[in-house]
Amino acid sequence: MAILNEYLITFGWALTGAFSMAIALPIMLRIFSKLTPIDEWEEIKKGNIGVSIIMSAVILGAAIVIGFTIMP
């Protein structure tokens, strides 16, 4: 019974993390896009690798911060 309880707690934290990322990531990306002078999404559509690497780093950085925030 203790193992089932631990599985349920882990599943609960996974759902909390997924929900937090689903809400926080789009908000953070909008703020980042407003603060920068270029349109990142248009540059990514054009095939600009540098901008896509920067956006990937921003997304990973936000994911790490949000992950450490909700960690028990």
The tens digit of pLDDT for each residue in 10-63 reads: 898 888 888 888 898 899 889 988 999 998 989 999 999 999 999 999 999 988
pTM exceeds 0.85 for this model: no
- Quick one: pLDDT at residue 72? 62
What does the pLDDT read at residue 65?
84
The pLDDT of residue 64 is 87
Residue 71 has pLDDT above 80, yes or no: no
Phi, psi dihedrals of residue 37, rounded to the nearest 5°: -80, -10
Question: If DSSP states are collapsed to H, E and C, what string results for 32-49?
Answer: HHHHCCCCHHHHHHHCCH
| Number of separate domains in the chain | 1
**Residue 14 sits in which domain range?**
2-70
